[in-house]
A and B are shown apart, each in its own frame.
Chain A
């Protein structure tokens, strides 16, 4: 059923009894052409593009719990592509272009809202590095501009340029095409689109082992029995190391808790996304009215999906510094996720030491914004059994050759 105001009206008249299931709940087949492990946004997007772009429909997405329940459902929904290095910029810009048409493509409103993303500068060094990034973005064909302090205030009147005295705002980069989206809707929209094209979305189905013969993947063991496939894509974010261990190789990843929080909902108070590396926090306002705030990572390895109080204390101190009028707002809800981060803060996309087993991980604190692009290049990589051109620089092998893509600046504040 195509969604539209008309279908909504028609279903209203039939008391909403006839809406079809979004993605169903099929039992696994014995074999698929491709198995995608991980029913987060990236995995579902991969399955969707395998079916829609590459004609590979005999696909299963295996999710250990419920789809969209990992970092897809735990992030602060920021979308932007203003990354420093060419390799990253091209990848994230591919994603951003897909975002711009995603609701229409999926016939599912993911509420992508291009309200603009500002990254603040608070000292001379920040200004220099920001201008470098803005200029690089521009020459990569990505919209990006530098705002001076006054322009920052005009774009976001809620901000206090004094920054509490310690972090005066000296300027900002602005990407007007950046913004936010409704995170759950992205998973659901891709799942619905994929299911419509024949993809099996199998929930509550953890993978417990790999069947590897002669260095090549033959299938996986799951809680619902063995499933065969000659091509398997692994998109499990915080659990990548665990699955890689099962498959017999290691990844240069660190899993750490990343937290975020929202305030009680209020009428519109801030109309864009504001991020600051130096003060270390970022903020936007959801359509519901909650201030959506992030966040620091804890330093230590953890799979606990929960962070520490002192991290939240630091984040809110930073927010109170930039927006002193929000000090009397109240934190409604806080949560944590597991972020898998590479030493260079860039992802790993491509082949693994096991033939036919592909990996897509290491998105660290910034994976949500990449969702469509990540799915796009990963589907292409699996379909053609070679890395997509945009994925090539993100090969696992970069760690031994030394060509790292250091995005610590762009990813400096976890986001």
Chain B
């Protein structure tokens, strides 16, 4: 804000008549308004442009004969080598002269006006950046842009002037000069002592100031038309030079991508493209892509378009009657058809995911697929991905019509009765599983379970499969797909979990006990001390695969990995939950306490933030080789079978 005032106010405070007198006598071609601005801005006591004509002549003296050189170059056009040499010589000479001229005074610059192609150096990118980030700060610059939109010029111009001033101070400081406000450098200025480059920058800036000035203070108040440009009468020779300089400077800004000084509205319009490229590097975008689809941002469900826990109070009807038996996470899992917010990054990621699957449809267990799946599969692609990675799709393709035949096959009374018994007890707080709902998922659920019972007669129906099949139906929305996914789970991924003896399940509970004993001995000691069997605290985790234990979104993320990596994931999740809450569990001093702790650890923010949760399950439990799991399973199975 200070800088904004710094520009225009001194100019306005000066009586214009007094200003016009002195410089007008010195520089004949100098437009009065411009010179006035210079005086005002650099301080009346030491106008930097008021060097004597003598000095300006001295400045232009060493300049070579540019006209002759140009003519020579033109003649040498047929001979490329000579032409190139002469051109570069010409360029050098022009640059040098331009530099000297600008260092010496405006007359020289006017005599040899710089052309766009002759390499006039704008302020360096570094200087611009510094102007942007130091001193004047970002605030006024931002405001320039904002204000500039409403009001064409005035406030923005002030800030520009202020920024240029700042730059001027810096350059002069760097060149070992006294600040423009302290001592009139008039006499010393023509000297050759300072480096040409720096002085040139300074002078460009000054010229710029001079060009900008009349628009600010010399302008009649409330004249927006006049504010856009210097007065027409000033557009003489020097005026054109100034405008060219200004253009040059603007181009320099654009080129440098710093985008600091929005001098003209047109300039602003040109800017967005390079700026966007600068602000959004590609690698970042990829990173965002993966994170976006893995729903790292709270609320997690929004980006992923998956269902998440409803906010308290927003639970669907029926959940109120739950009576606190189970955490009714599934109450909200009815989101098919909900509008999906698709961001660009996510679309990008999806495309890559799809490409991955298209490229190698058979070998889906490659590393990159695993990596992608660990980051989370979007809900609308879950069915496809699960079918693909679990081999269910292959089974389905190999057995067309099999599911329909199963449905029409002979019925088994006791099997169906057992399934019917659970129909009203599967996600009773989810409206789509309620009797009379439209569409009601009870019939599809029954079909899938009955078909599976007929397909796998050894297993038939086991309580717990109803919850799994229910989730599969919600995700796939297709009976046959749900059936084959259930087959992949029950038949391959979790062998013997649901058989009559439930041996696989009991084995894995014991294996978890062994793993905890190795990795978290304190917890194992606590449970042993209170005689808690692992089956008591974790059986639901294993049987229902965390359904209604963990929040919906987390369960689905766990299942992503379960389908792609197998049952080891269950141990990872269980170990992570226990390890993460070890301190809390160890506070328990009785069996009910322990059970309550194990209930608590599946709730709360840790389980809710599925992205962090999924990262943790692969880091927290540490190494968990399949071979050691296999060994442990063999040992535990032998132990379980031994007493019988």
Q: Does B bind A?
A: no
Q: Which residues of A does B touch, CB under 8 Å?
A: none
Q: Which residues of B does A touch, CB under 8 Å?
A: none
